[in-house]
Amino acid sequence: MFVLVEMTDTVRIPPWQFERKLNDAITEELNKKLANKVVYNVGLCICLYDITKLEDSYIFPGDGASHTKVHFRYVVFHPFLDEILVGEIKGCSLEGVHVSLGFFDDIIIPPESLQQPAKFDEAEQVWVWEYETEEGAHDLYMDTGEEIRFRVVDETFIDTSPTGPSSAEPSTSGAAEEAQKKEAPYTLVGSISEPGLGLLSWWTNS
């Protein structure tokens, strides 16, 4: 679920931080810049693990701050495909079941990846597994707040960095910007379509 990623960056330390130890100042600046941010094709950055190398610091004309090239390792949330995770149902919609891990919310389990047969209850706004038994079908509801075990089957990264002005019409560009704001930079797709996966309460007595 969590991996160590080697990174390199040039860190700017303002003059009023020169009295501090360089490592402490750099650690603070790196966490300010990266913590709780998604790096494209890398994952969700959590916190600095360690600094492996500091190169020489430079002060450029017109800028009193120091600039130091830093080699470091960062703790990143990036589960591998087929990894089993346990989260909490945040809500349900026609798109599927939305799951949260507490610190990461952009997880979706699409309808085709639910335990089958499944149906969406419009009145309750929840997905239901129509579990077949010898006594007939039992409706097992996927209620908000329930813990759910799922398998990671896909991931999507979207580059949400700012782009230059386009030549599109004002109305269409405004709509495109609004759509882009809604897009999550990092999304996981899960599946519960196999035995042992789904709500933890389903399998406690198995």
> Comparing 135 with 65, which gets the higher pLDDT?
65
Q: What tokens were used for 86?
A: 């346990």
Question: How many Å apart are CA 1 and CA 3, to the nearest integer?
Answer: 7
Q: Can you tell me the mean pLDDT for 127-144? A: 78
**Lowest mean pLDDT: which of 97-106, 110-119, 133-142?**
133-142
Q: Which amino acid is at 191?
A: S
Q: What is the DSSP string of 63-130?
A: --SEEEEEEEEEEEE-PPTT-EEEEEEEEEETTEEEEE-SS---EEE-GGGSSSSEEEETTTTEEEEE
- Quick: pLDDT tens for 13-53: 999 988 999 999 999 999 999 999 999 899 999 999 999 99
pLDDT digits (tens, 9 = 90+) for 68-93: 999 999 999 999 999 999 999 888 88
Question: Average per-residue pLDDT in the chain?
Answer: 84
- Residue 6 confidence (pLDDT): 94
Burial class (CB in 10 A: 0-12, 13-18, 19+), 142: buried
What is the Cα–Cα distance from 105 to 91, expressed in whole angstroms?
11
Q: What is the CA radius of gyration of the chain?
A: 23
